[in-house]
Amino acid sequence: MENIKKAKEAIANTYSPYSKFGVGAAIKLKNGEYILGANIENSSYPLGNCAERSALFSAYSQGYRKDDIENITIIANSKDPISPCGACRQVMYELMNHDSKIILTNFEGEIKETNPKELLPYGFDLDDQK
């Protein structure tokens, strides 16, 4: 699966000297291109960034928007398919279409497919503001 291959490429760019837990993310755009992201840590822990947000922020910085995104694949060397943190769930909820595919996996090849709406029930975005 090309998505998983690209997510593994992304994990090679992790900067995780503190946790030693690398995460890679690969966004597949509808035009067939990929945008990669890796987790980047910092000695001031809250200043780090997860792979999912790194990839999404990069996509938006390049001018892409939610309608350009086909899916995102996230991988880590975890026991089960990697589970995004709450912050990443909220960012995916707002920056991706609610029915976009999210592919969660690990190095063992286990896969869980979901979407932003399922991953973050009761999430909120711009449409929820008055």
- As annotated, the active-site residues are 52
Q: Specify the residue for token string 């035009």.
A: 31
State how far the Cα of 53 lies from the Cα of 14, in Å rounded to an integer: 13
**Can you tell me which residue has the tokens 């993310």?**
25
Other C-beta atoms lying within 10 Å of the C-beta of residue 25: 31
| 42 vs 38: CA distance, rounded Å | 13
Q: Where are the beta strands (DSSP E) in 1-130?
A: 23-29, 34-38, 69-76, 101-106, 111-114
